[in-house]
Amino acid sequence: MVGLGLALGSTVTQAAALQVSPVMVDFKPTEQAQAIYLVNNGKEPLEAQVRVRRWTQVQGQDKLDEVDDVVASPAIIRVAPGERQVVRVVRKKPTAPAQELSYRLLVDELPQKTKAEHSGLNVLLRYSIPVFIAPAGSATQPSSEDAQTETNLSVVHAQLVAAAAGKSNLLMRNDGTVHIRVSHLGLTSASGKDRILEDGLVGYVLPGQQMSWPVDVAYPLPAGETLKARFNDDRETHPVPLDLAGR
């Protein structure tokens, strides 16, 4: 649900002091603002830059672009040791979109001027948090253990295509109006034995888009084998609908 990157510098700081919550932001169709929280679990003050980027997918790749319709305030924030600060994510014109809108909230820890005698490795964190604005007439995706709604898999279409060394790429298309989150990818053999391919997040498919991921399965998929995944917050995994051309 959240991307986490590391940037390396030349001075010593505490590692992984910055924590951000929640790790996903879901707006209702006309909701104007939500809050995220930055926590400093370290022993030194830290600063972070917070930005919003429009998130689209082009030819199976994620693309981030600058926007001005959704902003983060404040854009630069200082958090004392052991403290928590709030950042508001604000829509300038909170009208209901016809199709779900997607963004990424980038939280970058900024380098600090520490004591001159320190030297070595400086680990700076980047969080990339999904932000979704639900379309008109829609509720946000169920996101709790109590959620009863199952994902509508009729809008999900997939295909295995040949890759290098006899492996495969999984192409997945989303014909719906809201995102699909894919996780816990596995393979069930003809004898019923399960093999884990990806125990965590595989990725997202935004509405009207198609994504591609490498998978450690043979191409073509042997008869009787079933590719399974968890979609959004469904409690169970489901067979991946390999109903595009090919298999």
Report how far apart, in Å, the C-alpha atoms of 120 and of each of 7, 14, 116, 134, 163 are: 13, 12, 11, 45, 41
Q: Give the residue extent of every domain in the chain.
A: 3-133, 153-239
Residue with the bigger pLDDT between 140 and 206: it is 206
User: Does 153-239 match 3-133 at the fold level?
Assistant: yes
From 2.120.10, 1.10.760, 2.60.40, 3.30.960, which CATH number describes the 153-239 domain? 2.60.40
Span 220-244, average pLDDT? 94
The total of other beta-carbon atoms located within 10 Å of residue 26's CB is 17
* Structure confidence at residue 92 (pLDDT): 98
* Structure confidence at residue 13 (pLDDT): 39
Closest Cα to residue 13, out of 52, 53, 40?
Answer: 40
Residue 11 has pLDDT above 80, yes or no: no
Tell me the pLDDT tens digit for each residue of 58-90: 998 999 999 999 999 999 999 999 999 999 999
Topology (CATH level 3) of domain 3-133: Immunoglobulin-like (2.60.40)
Q: List residues bridging with 65 in a β-sheet.
A: 54
Span 133-155, average pLDDT? 73
- Lowest-confidence range among 37-41, 76-80, 162-166, 210-214? 162-166
- For residue 150 the two structure tokens come to 């199952």
